[in-house]
Structure 1
């Protein structure tokens, strides 16, 4: 299967990751965090993983910055889940 490697496709996946991150944070602020809201960010990371694995693309500033932005969004998606688990982890000790 050949992946589309156009910049438009990369931007589309970045927007998908952004929506997943925002949905994850909004669900946490509404005190109804659900892991399903993080799925778009995880899916976008999987679809953009070829950037990191291909040195010719990763050497280009657009693709390298897209991968970095996506990685930041993925970490930001994990933060609400960690904040939700923190009281349970601290209370267990």
Structure 2
């Protein structure tokens, strides 16, 4: 069995704690809410790092090859993807 660790104590304004407590789902504890929030923040930051890495790699590839895509073409492709997703509903 893996040992567990703790996060440092966190002092917050009473209003923030009250808002957090009011946001809890039935049966959810403040501790589980905080843990889930931390997990989601870590995941979101990982996605952001990966997104930036892909963007920078794409920029370098475009510089290297000279193959660029116009912003109009990108927006049009996104609009087409959105329209296709909406039509599936």
The answer to whether the superposition gives a TM-score over 0.5 is no
Which TM class, normalised by the smaller chain length? Answer: 0.3 to 0.5
Greater C-alpha Rg: 2
TM-score scaled by structure 1?
Answer: 0.35
TM-score scaled by structure 2?
Answer: 0.36
Query: Of Structure 1 and Structure 2, which has the larger fraction of its residues in helix?
Result: 1
